[in-house]
Amino acid sequence: MQTTEKRVLVGMSGGIDSSAVCLMLQEQGYEVVGVTLRTWDVPSHFSTPGQEEPDEVLEARSLARRLGIEHHVADVREEFRQVIVRYFIDEYMRGRTPNPCVLCNPMFKERVLCEWADRTGCACIATGHYCRLVDKDGYRYIVTGDDATKDQSYFLWKLPQTILRRMIFPLGGMTKADVRAYLAEKGFEAKARGGESMEICFIDKDYREFLKEHCPDIDERIGPGWFVDSKGLKLGQHKGFAYYTIGQRKGLEIALGKPAYVLKINPAKNTVMLGDAEQLKAEYMLIEEVNPVNKEELLRCPDLSVRIRYRSRPIPCRVFPLEDDRMLVRFLAEASAITPGQSAVFYDGNRVLGGGFIAFQQSVRKLAQEYAENI
């Protein structure tokens, strides 16, 4: 199909944000085409007995009919299971804490939307992410959304330039309250009062229950191990390293007479190191699979900061490139709970310069000593 500049593909989840995007773009003169990705069926998303499709598909289809727009459903459940859910389980089995939304955007959702945009003749792709875009020196950058409580720039650092150049984020300059008010004003009062979606779309309850359900032999493969202190002394037994994450304090089920936090996870030995909050602090961090927009700008940026988890405060920092797409990061302010598997996302003010995955930190002290003068 011939591509049309004013024909835009919208990823429709059936929720508040994507519904508002459809309305806004239609008002701006775009020919809107909606695609709903059926990625994972969660029981709570089926409101009535015998319902064959989840609520989000039915709601998106209903909105499309009301607006008179073309709508498609992409059943990608098996591919989602093989790519995203497999990654999620494998990361916990490696003793890491995964970032499924970070991987899902470039490797799955936006990629599939690009394929559908080509198939339906759409030049642009729009989503309900709360962020903005800006062009600088030939590159397209993600910029934080105006609503700090909903900003989703952290999750999008892996999106390549080829996809970013096709993206539209209509909600970047709005707050969630603005979006709800807009929908109500346009006659979609029920939609405006809708609830929020889950942070991880395929987990209905606790991730540990999910691991047991989809990896039924997890307890046989890992089994109980030892809680240890920073000197390696055994403190008591735990249920298996995959059930813990760095910085965790609640649910440890061990009494030490004082608050204890997970400091390190060693999957090879099936040990979980515990300690106090002071021991969680770090001056350096090692990251891998680094994906900068412009590497030279990232290395030279005088006001560089990094977020080491979603909604965490930006921490001033410096970076030094290592081999194999790794970087050594030096924090210039207090940082705590460096969690392998999570994302480290770099900012110049509100502009995303790139990111990487937090690596295991075993060699970070040696590297810090080796490159201390450079960073």
Number of domains in the chain: 3
| Domain that residue 147 falls in | 4-192
User: How many whole angstroms separate alpha carbon 1 and alpha carbon 121?
Assistant: 5
Backbone torsions φ then ψ of 261, nearest 5 degrees = -125, 150
pLDDT tens-digit readout, 12-27:
999 999 999 999 999 9
In a domain, residue 258? The reply is: yes
Whether residue 184 sits in one domain with residue 48: yes
* The pLDDT of residue 200: 85
Residue (of 2, 271, 245) closest to 120 by Cα position: 2
Mean pLDDT for 204-229 is: 94
15 annotated as a binding-site residue: yes
* The pLDDT of residue 351: 98
In a domain, residue 209? The reply is: no
Whether residue 291 sits in one domain with residue 160: no
User: How many whole angstroms separate alpha carbon 131 and alpha carbon 172?
Assistant: 4
11 annotated as a binding-site residue: yes
Backbone torsions φ then ψ of 31, nearest 5 degrees = -90, 110
pLDDT at 38 over 80: yes
Per-residue confidence at 5, pLDDT binned at 50, 70, 90?
confident
Whether residue 268 sits in one domain with residue 328: no
Whether residue 365 sits in one domain with residue 295: yes
Catalytic residue among 22, 101, 124, 201: 201
Q: Residue 232's domain is classified under what CATH number? A: 2.30.30.280
Whether residue 271 sits in one domain with residue 185: no
Residues whose CB falls within 8 Å of the CB of residue 33, separated by 6 or more in sequence, listed in order: 7, 8, 9, 10, 69, 70, 71, 72, 120, 122
18 annotated as a binding-site residue: yes
Residue 201 designated active-site: yes
Whether residue 259 sits in one domain with residue 143: no
Lowest-confidence segment of 41-45, 126-130, 167-171, 223-227 by average pLDDT: 41-45
Q: Are 124 and 168 in contact (CB under 8 A)?
A: yes
* The pLDDT of residue 3: 76
Per-residue confidence at 94, pLDDT binned at 50, 70, 90?
very high
* The pLDDT of residue 2: 67
Whether residue 309 sits in one domain with residue 266: no
User: How many whole angstroms separate alpha carbon 326 and alpha carbon 291?
Assistant: 10
Torsion sign across C-alpha atoms 336, 212, 271, 237: positive
More confident residue, 198 or 335: 335
* The pLDDT of residue 107: 84
* The pLDDT of residue 198: 63
Label the pairing between strands 167-168 and 122-126.
parallel
Q: How many residues does the chain have?
A: 375
Catalytic residue among 22, 104, 122, 317: 104
pLDDT tens-digit readout, 302-328:
999 999 999 899 999 999 999 888 999
At residue 255, the 3 state secondary structure works out as coil
Whether residue 88 sits in one domain with residue 129: yes
Residue 104 designated active-site: yes
Q: How much of the chain, in percent, has pLDDT values that exceed 90?
A: 91
pLDDT tens-digit readout, 256-282:
999 999 999 999 999 999 999 999 999
Per-residue confidence at 369, pLDDT binned at 50, 70, 90?
very high
**DSSP code of 96?**
-
In a domain, residue 269? The reply is: yes
Report the chain's mean pLDDT, rounded to a whole number.
Answer: 95
Q: Residue 302's domain is classified under what CATH number? A: 2.40.30.10
DSSP code string of 139-203: EEEEEE-S-TTT--GGGGTT--HHHHTTEE-TTTT--HHHHHHHHHHTT-HHHHT--PPPSSTT-
* The pLDDT of residue 10: 98
Mean pLDDT for 103-108 is: 89
14 annotated as a binding-site residue: yes
37 annotated as a binding-site residue: yes
pLDDT tens-digit readout, 332-353:
999 999 999 999 999 999 999 9
User: Chain-centre distance of CA 29, in angstroms?
Assistant: 31
Whether residue 291 sits in one domain with residue 229: no
Whether residue 286 sits in one domain with residue 268: no
